[in-house]
Structure formats: C-alpha cells, structure tokens
C-alpha cells in the first residue's frame, strides 16, 4: 500500500474565461467509479446549457484507475490534459468535470489543451488539497480508573483518538503510523503501568490518524 496520497478535501468549483468561452471546473473526492460517475451526472443535470462536460478521474492510492473523456471536443484536447493535470499534481480519489460554454471564438487544439488542463490546475489551487497518510487501526482497552488520563495523554502526544466506548472497561480506538507501533507499545505500557491491552486491526488512510475514505 502507498504510505500516503493527496486528494481534494471537499467538493469545490472554480471558473475561468478564455477568449469568451467559460470553463467551469468542478472537483470532488470519489471513492470509486460509481461515485465519480454520479458526480458527473449531477454536474450535467445542474448545467444543461453547457456545450461540453469533459471529465477525468484518478482512483486508488496508487492511481491505478484513470479515465477521461473529451465529451465531443476534438480528440485529446480536453479529457487527456485534465487527466494529465490530476496525475501531475499527484492527486488520487478525485474527479474533475469541466463544463464549457462556447464563447464564439475557436481556440484550436493547443488552446483547448491549455484551457482544459489549466482549468483543473487552477481549481485544485482554489479548492485545496489534503494529504491522507496510511495508519494502522488499533484498539486500546483499559480500566475506568486510567481511561481519562490515558485519553488526555494520547491527544497531548498527537495521537488521534477516533472513538471511545465505555463498558466494563474503556475501549479507545486510535490510528497509528506503522513506524510508530513499537514505540507506542512501550509508551502505552509506561503510561498505564502495564494494565492496558493493545489489539491491532487493519489499515486505513486519514489526514491525522482519523480514518477517511477516500
């Protein structure tokens, strides 16, 4: 698995104008192709007067899935430069839809390539990106007498507490970088006088140890 990837933090839009043609780039995080295509369908429905709705998306932390469409623009002048911009900026789990309203002036192949690729780049700058890092999910079980102090200590040392459950004992869910596991075991033993139990789970991505997908 990739140690980290970059994606957009949320949906966003940025518009540019080139030779009186209007280019509206809508960006969104997408976990899979179904989400990416649903976003495209929503943009189409919201802007039926656009001349074209060109799109591109990159999925998978390793960028394994890459798709793009010119949607009627000359071949290779829209979807491809949009996809190239997403890949060049190393973004993953992201879909871009550029809706164009023709302004009456033909841009030529080179102009279209610059306009569509540029629209995505400017939108990424405007919307902003976030880095998702790979974490191991872990569960810490401890007695009630130590739980409050332990939770405070976890947060104070920058470790993300994802959830806290109270029962006969207290269970805290945390996200830990793989490289931190050995050090965390020692720290936990010291912090709880050896009374806490640690169970390791699967892996996920998050910006601060809090799992987020994508």
13 lies in some domain: yes
CA-nearest of 105, 91, 116, 99 to 9 is 91
Note whether 154 and 75 are same-domain residues: no
Note whether 120 and 36 are same-domain residues: yes
pLDDT in tens, 130-167: 988 888 889 999 999 999 999 999 988 888 788 999 99
pLDDT range class, residue 203, cuts 50, 70, 90: confident
State which of 79, 108, 127 marks the end of a domain: 127
213 lies in some domain: no
Note whether 112 and 19 are same-domain residues: yes
pLDDT in tens, 163-195: 999 999 999 999 888 778 899 999 999 999 999
- Torsions phi, psi of 77, nearest 5? -100, -10
Note whether 104 and 47 are same-domain residues: yes
17 lies in some domain: yes
Note whether 20 and 121 are same-domain residues: yes
Looking at residue 209, what is its pLDDT?
45
Looking at residue 1, what is its pLDDT?
61
Note whether 167 and 87 are same-domain residues: no
Write down the pTM of the prediction.
Answer: 0.74
214 lies in some domain: no
Residue 207 confidence (pLDDT) above 70: no
Note whether 77 and 102 are same-domain residues: yes
């Amino acid at each position: 698995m990739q140690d980290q990837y970059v994606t957009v933090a949320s949906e966003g839009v940025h518009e540019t104008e080139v030779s009186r043609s209007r280019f509206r780039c809508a960006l969104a995080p997408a976990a899979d192709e179904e989400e990416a295509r649903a976003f495209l369908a929503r943009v189409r429905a919201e802007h039926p007067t656009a001349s074209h709705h060109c799109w591109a998306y990159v999925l998978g932390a390793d960028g394994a899935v890459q798709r793009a469409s010119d949607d009627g623009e000359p071949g290779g002048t829209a979807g491809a430069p949009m996809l190239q911009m997403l890949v060049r900026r190393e973004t993953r789990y992201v879909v871009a839809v550029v809706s164009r309203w023709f302004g009456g002036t033909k841009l030529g192949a080179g102009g279209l390539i610059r306009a569509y690729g540029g629209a995505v780049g400017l939108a990424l700058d405007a919307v902003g990106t976030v880095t998702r890092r790979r974490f191991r999910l872990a569960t810490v079980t401890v007695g009630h007498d130590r739980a409050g102090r332990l939770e405070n200590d976890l947060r104070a040392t920058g470790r993300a507490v994802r959830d806290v459950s109270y029962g006969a004992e207290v269970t805290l869910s945390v996200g830990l970088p793989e490289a931190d596991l050995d050090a965390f075991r020692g720290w936990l033993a010291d912090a709880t006088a050896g009374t806490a139990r640690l169970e390791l789970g699967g892996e996920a991505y998050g910006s601060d140890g809090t799992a987020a997908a994508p």
